[in-house]
A and B are shown apart, each in its own frame.
Chain A
Amino acid sequence: GNSVTQMEGPVTLSEEAFLTINCTYTATGYPSLFWYVQYPGEGLQLLLKATKADDKGSNKGFEATYRKETTSFHLEKGSVQVSDSAVYFCALSQGGIQGAQKLVFGQGTRLTINP
């Protein structure tokens, strides 16, 4: 079945450092790919998405490119801030009944940014 693998956490960086969180996937067909972020005590929020190969999703300084040849969707940010501290989830969608989109998540990566 479809699956998503993320780099193990936790990840701790200093403010203004460069961030990469690796994500690879296994899927039949061509799923859409997502990064969700979860701040402490809250639900998940969509950070960015890409719906086809070579698409680049971007939001709030974060970027990820859908690489079909390497089955990857790595999250990057050039200069992180303390406010980026959160848990990040990579996910793919697989079709359900009548247009529903079932999400398959990676295990999550906890990111802590120190001032």
Chain B
Amino acid sequence: DAGITQSPRHKVTETGTPVTLRCHQTENHRYMYWYRQDPGHGLRLIHYSYGVKDTDKGEVSDGYSVSRSKTEDFLLTLESATSSQTSVYFCAISESYSYEQYFGPGTRLTVT
């Protein structure tokens, strides 16, 4: 199994509070991705990174920001959480020019 961990694994927070989710890899892969999983929508890309300090928006980036200060860590921040951001968040990694993405175990976030 690819070395990907996500923290926390579960979080309950209140509307309007900031939240940061962490993805950590031990594989030294170049690319990292954040997806959210919602019933009826499959997974949708939020943001991705193509190198340290290099990031780009995905399909559903509004309300989210990301940072990658070193190869192994990719942070997803909800500046002011809303109930519509209640979801399961998955991080994925891939090597250069590889089509296969390896997924982490996910973080279940509930915004009340």
A interface with B by C-beta (< 8 Å): 4, 6, 32, 34, 42-46, 49, 51, 89, 91, 93, 96-108
| B residues near A98, Cβ cutoff 8 Å | 50-51, 54
- B interface with A by C-beta (< 8 Å): 4, 30-31, 33, 35, 40-45, 48, 50-51, 54, 56, 58-59, 90, 92, 94, 96-106
Chain A minimum-CB-distance residue to B100? A46
Closest-by-CB residue of A relative to B97 is A99
Known contacts A42-B106, A100-B33, A104-B45; can you find 11 more A-B pairs with CB under 8 A?
A4-B42, A42-B105, A45-B103, A49-B99, A99-B30, A100-B94, A101-B98, A105-B35, A105-B43, A107-B41, A108-B42
From known contacts A97-B50, A102-B48, infer whether A43 and B105 are also in contact, taking CB-CB under 8 Å. yes
A91 partner residues in chain B, CB cutoff 8 A: 42-43
11 A-B residue contacts at CB 8 Å? A42-B105, A43-B105, A46-B100, A89-B42, A99-B30, A99-B97, A101-B101, A102-B58, A103-B35, A105-B42, A107-B41
